[in-house]
Structure 1
Amino acid sequence: MSRVLALDFGKKRTGIAVTDELQLIASGLTTVNTFELIPFLTAYIKKENVSCIVVGEPKQMDNTPSESEAMIQPLINRLRKLFPAIILERQDERFTSKMAVQAMIAGGIKKSKRRNKALVDEISATLILQAYLNRF
């Protein structure tokens, strides 16, 4: 089978999570500087079989798009052009950063490590991917 990859896109950093080949388990992969995202994805997709990319969809509490959506749409258009054979999906990402910090606390991660925003972004991407997997 193939993997599903999820992105928690940010202006500075993007968290990335991926499933196993059976698409059962969501795991954090890494966090990359956003300006390095396309080269990273290109290299990753060359070596791994990815059938779907899930991009976090930031929404306001009233379900309207967040300001960040304006930065995400050009990324989605670029991904569609670069990887036309890969399905692109969206997943509501409300509260994932807050949930990521709570998961770190529950996991006993020390306060100094919880300040690591790259780790928070990676865990957020994992939560986005798990929520996507739970839809089916």
Structure 2
Amino acid sequence: MARILAIDYGRKRTGIAVTDPLQLIANGLTTVRTHDLMKFLLDYVGREEVERVVIGLPKQMDNTPSESMKYIEPFVVHFKKKFPDLPIEFVDERFTSVLAQRAILEAGLKKKDRQNKALVDEVSATIILQTFMESKRLF
């Protein structure tokens, strides 16, 4: 089997998470500056076998796309050009930042570490990936 890679796309930073090769566990991988994201993905997919990519889908509470979609859509178009054979799936990412901050707090990290936005982005990507994996296990 190959890994599943999750992306929590942001204007400044993007959180990345991946599964193990057996797709049993979601792990935070890193946070990259968004303008370096495609270079990072080209390198990572060149080294690791990736089966699919899961991208957080930002929505408003009324289920309409959030303002962030205007940044994500061009990225997805560019991604599909670079990786035409790699399937993309979207996962509702509402509340992932709140859940990530809660998880970091419950982990007992120091205040300085809890304020690390890059860590929040990485944990958010992990939550997006875990949500995707759990949704596939139901069927």
Q: CA RMSD in A?
A: 0.5
The residue that corresponds to 2:83 in the other structure is 83
The residue that corresponds to 2:129 in the other structure is 129
Aligned AA (1:85): D
CA displacement, residues 25-66 of structure 1 (integer Å, 9 cap, x when unaligned): 000000000000000000000000001010100000000000
Q: Which runs of 4+ in 1 moved over 3 A?
A: none
What percentage of aligned pairs have identical amino acids? 56
The residue that corresponds to 2:12 in the other structure is 12
Is structure 2 residue 47 aligned with structure 1 residue 47? yes
The residue that corresponds to 2:24 in the other structure is 24
Listed as ranges, the gaps of 5+ residues in structure 1 are none
TM-score (norm: length of structure 1): 0.99
Q: Following the alignment from structure 2 to structure 1, what is the Cα–Cα distance between the partners of residues 34 and 28?
A: 16
The residue that corresponds to 2:63 in the other structure is 63
CA displacement, residues 5-24 of structure 1 (integer Å, 9 cap, x when unaligned): 00000000000000000111
The residue that corresponds to 1:74 in the other structure is 74
Aligned AA (2:50): V
Give aligned pairs, total.
Answer: 136
